[in-house]
Chains A and B, each alone.
Chain A
Amino acid sequence: MFEIHCPYCNEKRSEIEFAYAGEAHYVRPTAQEQTEMSDEDWSRYMFIRDNIRGEHAERWWHNSGCNMFFNAIRDTVTDKFVMTYKMGQPRRTETQIEAARKNNAEQKAKS
């Protein structure tokens, strides 16, 4: 069991308070787009996910806490969270992720 930092509560809470909610930054096509898009594109939207082995941008839901959704970067090989951030913020860049990784390592060295 791990602890997850909720960016709304600004606190680390136990994993059992949270629910996984799939790949992050996933944009649903508008009703108009849906009527015009090809079967292939619709299939990609419906069924294809990143399923990355490594750092994965994903959504979590603090359902037994503040009830807010937020996004996270988690390494799917170690299950370690690199960072979490509020809903609506843009996809994290490689530099931002790298900085978070460094920060985590420093925090760990201190404690």
Chain B
Amino acid sequence: MKYSAISLFANALSGHKKWPVQFPDKEPKKEYDAIIVGGGGHGLGAAYYLAKRYGITNVAVLEKGWIGGGNTGRNTTIIRSNYLFDESAAMYDHAVDLWDGLGQELNYNLMFSKRGVLMLAHNVHDVQSFQRHVHANRLNGVDNKWLSPEECKAFCPPLDISPHRRYPVMGGALQMRAGTARHDSVAWGYARAASKLGVDIIQNCKVIGIRRDPDGAVEGVETEKGYIASKKIGVSAAGNTSVVMEMAGLRFPLESYPLQALVSEPVKPVMPCVVMSNAVHAYISQSDKGELVIGAGTDQYTSYSQRGPLHLQEHNVAAICEIFPIFKRQRMLRSWGGIVDVTPDRSPIVGKTPVKGLYVNCGWGTGGFKATPGAADMLAYTVAHDAPHKINAPFNLDRFVGGRLIDEAAAAAVAH
């Protein structure tokens, strides 16, 4: 069924009780041309692009829980592409380009809203480094502009820009093409569209082993639902990537950390954009439901627990109150955590692995939601061609041996 104003109206007449299922729950076949491990936005998107762009439709997505139950459904949905290095600009901007029109393409309301992302500068170092970012971005054709404190205030009225604050606002870098989207819709929209093209979405199907032939190439995966054969396996397992790679005898330059977020009680629209502050260390936006969405950096220790300690949430909220005293009496409603896979240079790894037929998309850490369509497309391209696209070629695993790092670590200082 095509979703439209007409279908909405027709289904309203039947009390919304006759909507067809969005995509069928499938049991695995014996063999596929390609398998994607991990049913997050990246994995589902990769399956969609394999079928849509690269002509491989006999594909399964294997998800150990429910689709979108990982970081895709746990993030704070900030989308931006104002990264420093040329490689990153190409990668993230490819994603931002794909976000445009994605809702139409998938026939699914992703609620993609280009409300702008404003990064605040609180000291001379911030001002200098953000202005450097603005110039570097513009040289790469990525929109980003510098705002004075008064312009910041005009763009985001709840902001306190009085100069005697402990961390005064000395200006900000604004990317207008940046914003937010509805994260669950991204998973569901890709799943529905991929399923229509013949992809099997298989939930509650944890991959527990990778089988290889005598030459070392992959043959298939052992799962909770039995053995499934495939000569091409793309792994997109975010925080659990190290665990899956270990099944193929590979050790990856990744550490898995909890990253927490929280939302307030819903209130009337008050935050028009996304605001990030690296120095005070927090970021905030408002969902269409009215909740203030708040996040900051990862927890300090590695973990797979999908939860974190309360004192870090206190830290996040304190930082928000520092920048927005107006929110001091706002009550918090829910908090949660996801497990993010962090690389030493804070840039992702997307490409081939030393094992033939095994491909990987990981290391997006605290900031991969924004990249979902781009990462998905690059993984699909690499699986289909057995070679990386020129956009993801620099994001290879070998850079950690050769030393050609893409060191975005300093560029974002706060999770996002």
**Chain A: residues with CB nearer than 8 A to chain B?**
1-2, 15-16, 19-20, 39-40, 43-44, 46-49, 51, 53, 56, 58, 74, 76-79
- Binary CB contact string for chain B from 311 to 348 against chain A (1 if under 8 A, 0 otherwise): 10000000000000000000000000000000010000
The 5 closest A-B pairs by CB, nearest first: A20-B301, A47-B253, A51-B242, A43-B401, A1-B309
Task: Give the number of residues in B that approach A within 8 Å (Cβ atoms).
Answer: 23
Complex Cα spacing A2 to B311, Å? 11
Is B251 interfacial (CB 8 A cutoff)? yes
Complex Cα spacing A19 to B242, Å? 24
Q: Is the CB of A2 within 8 A of B309?
A: yes
Complex Cα spacing A58 to B303, Å? 12
How far is the CB of A74 from the nearest CB of chain B, in Å? Answer: 8
Given A47-B344, A48-B251, A51-B254, also A56-B401 (CB < 8 A):
no
Closest to B305 in A: A79
Is B402 interfacial (CB 8 A cutoff)? yes
Q: Is the CB of B252 within 8 A of A76?
A: no
CB neighbours (8 Å) of B302 from chain A are 20, 51, 56, 58, 76
Is B286 interfacial (CB 8 A cutoff)? no
CB neighbours (8 Å) of A77 from chain B are 303-305
Q: Is the CB of B301 within 8 A of A47?
A: no
B400: contacting residue among A15, A16, A43, CB under 8 A: A43
- Binary CB contact string for chain B from 382 to 416 against chain A (1 if under 8 A, 0 otherwise): 00000000000000000011100000000000000
B304: contacting residue among A1, A16, A19, A53, CB under 8 A: A53
A20: contacting residue among B256, B300, B304, CB under 8 A: B300
Closest to B242 in A: A51
Complex Cα spacing A61 to B318, Å? 25
Complex Cα spacing A44 to B311, Å? 34
Closest to A78 in B: B305
Is B13 interfacial (CB 8 A cutoff)? no
Given A58-B301, A76-B302, A77-B304, also A53-B402 (CB < 8 A):
no
Given A47-B253, A78-B305, also A53-B310 (CB < 8 A):
no
Given A20-B301, A76-B302, also A1-B400 (CB < 8 A):
no
Complex Cα spacing A20 to B255, Å? 13
Complex Cα spacing A70 to B22, Å? 53
